[in-house]
Structure 1
Amino acid sequence: MKNIYLYLLDTMADWETGYILQGLSMQAMAGEVKYQVKTVGITKAPIKTLGGMTMIPDCSIGEIKEDSIGALLLPGADTWKEEQHKPVLDLVLTCMERKIPVAAICGATLALADLGILNSRKHTSNSVEFLSGCSREYTGNSLYVNQMSVRAENVITASSAGSLLWAKDIMECLSIYSKEVIDSWYRYFSTGNPERFMELVSALQIKN
């Protein structure tokens, strides 16, 4: 079983990961657990989120075995420009070489911009001005898409308002569920309609 690694860092926007974590939690109900979630940090030292939670990583970057990576999730944070994050940025480049999905939201898109990853593929962020104004390496203005989430092969980017669509794109990229399940999931969480909830429950009973 592959691991979906969620990077934990001080000042991370913890709420941005809520929808994808909920989506991944349905795997047993769908009949097959394809991925497990593991949190990873620079070290195993606790981090403090913007929401005020203290979180302890399951493992450190140095403990990750490349063959275990199913995807790498990068949440927004105020500290992405700091040198301390170089180990996870090196891991991002490894994932890119191996065509392992990398999903970045909000401030984490700036980290991808600094690596030059967004200069050659469609992407989004909080705004194109955010990327061009904060990253000297960013030259991908013409590939910027004014959407809340954009999937370009194995790279998924989202704005701070795009966590729901970001989660949908991640699940589609990893083929965690059938199209019916993912569409039902999105319809329910984007509307809150009780009828959509029952559609989701029904769809989950169909093995993928």
Structure 2
Amino acid sequence: MTKTLLLLANGFESYEASVFTDVLGWNLYEGDKTTELVSVGMHPQLKCTWGYSNIPNKQLDEIDLNDYDALAIPGGFEEADFYQDAFSSDFSQVIRNFDDRNKPIASICVAALALGKSGVLNNRQATTYSFPNNPRQDQLAAMGVKVIRDKSLVVDKNIVTSSSPATALDVAFWLLEQLTDSQNVKNVKARMGFK
């Protein structure tokens, strides 16, 4: 059984978190049954981007990071204070822990900025939110990252980054493949109705 840490910043985008819960949850019930997901936050109650509340399974100070095999991070909105948690030293320390152990790190959209802030993407390839005239890719490049601007999904060693919420399911399936294998991903996709 593998255990994935779903790291939630205050102001996270609920859809981007839900793809990890769904894909790994479908695998737990209908796939090879080896993936456990634990949501973790730095507050007892988190607000999502669109204004409703979320209670994570655990608090960051309650867990041992070495008990986890992978890290998943959804993005969020500045207007919902996402970057206050996502750019914090505690958040960065979690990211560095997983990268130091060469564990899979799956990030969606602007969650790549938290990775950039932590330093794990220094001189590595990545992407982030890419809507025209939006500053996020330039912001990521200023963090020492080699930003790939024409790809929606960028994998560099153990880390995947993506360019928008539209990529969220692709990121979640990438993570499932890292934790299991490509045939299992095909089986889970088929059970979920993907053709």
TM-score (norm. length: structure 1): 0.77
Aligned in 2, Cα 1:152/1:145: closer, same or farther, shift over 3 Å?
A: farther
Q: Is the 8 A contact 1:99 1:154 kept in 2?
A: yes
What residue is the counterpart of 1:72 in the other structure? 71
Structure 2 residue 139 is matched with structure 1 residue 133 = yes
Indicate conservation of the 8 Å contact 1:80/1:110, yes or no: no
Is 1:152 equivalent to 2:156 in the alignment? yes
CA RMSD of aligned residues (A): 2.6
SS at match of 1:162: helix
Question: Which residue does the alignment assign to 1:180?
Answer: 183
Amino acid across the alignment from 1:81: Y
Q: CA deviation at 1:159?
A: 1.9
Residue 117 of structure 1 aligns to a residue in which SS? coil
- Residues 144-164 of structure 1: CA deviation (Å, up to 9, x unaligned): 252222222211111222102
Alpha-carbon shift at residue 120 of structure 1 (Å): 2.8
Greater Cα shift, 65-74 or 130-139? 130-139
TM-score (normalizing by structure 2): 0.81
2:9 aligned residue? 9
How many angstroms apart in 1 are the aligned matches of 2:110 and 2:184? 29
Pairing 1:27-46 to 2, within 5 Å after superposition: 27-30=28-31, 32-43=32-43, 45-46=44-45
Alignment partner of 1:166 is 2:171: yes
State how far apart, in whole Å, the 1-side matches of 2:135 and 2:121 are.
Answer: 14
Instruction: Give the share of equivalent positions with the same residue, in percent.
Output: 23
Can you give the 5+ residue segments of structure 1 that lack an aligned partner in the other structure? 197-208
CA drift at 1:134: 5.9
2: distance between equivalents of 1:166 and 1:81? 21
Matched residue count: 186
| SS in structure 1 at match of 2:69 | strand
Alpha-carbon deviation of 1:37? 1.1
Any stretches of 5+ residues in structure 2 without a counterpart?
Answer: none
Relative distance call for 1:134 and 1:25 in structure 2 (3 A) is: closer
* Counterpart residue number, 1:124: 127
Question: Structure 2: which amino acid aligns with 1:131?
Answer: Q
Q: Secondary structure at the match of 1:92?
A: helix
Alignment partner, residue 20 of structure 1: 20
Q: CA deviation at 1:129?
A: 4.9
Give the aligned partner of residue 112 of structure 1: 115
For residue 86 of structure 1, the aligned residue among 76, 85, 89 is: 89
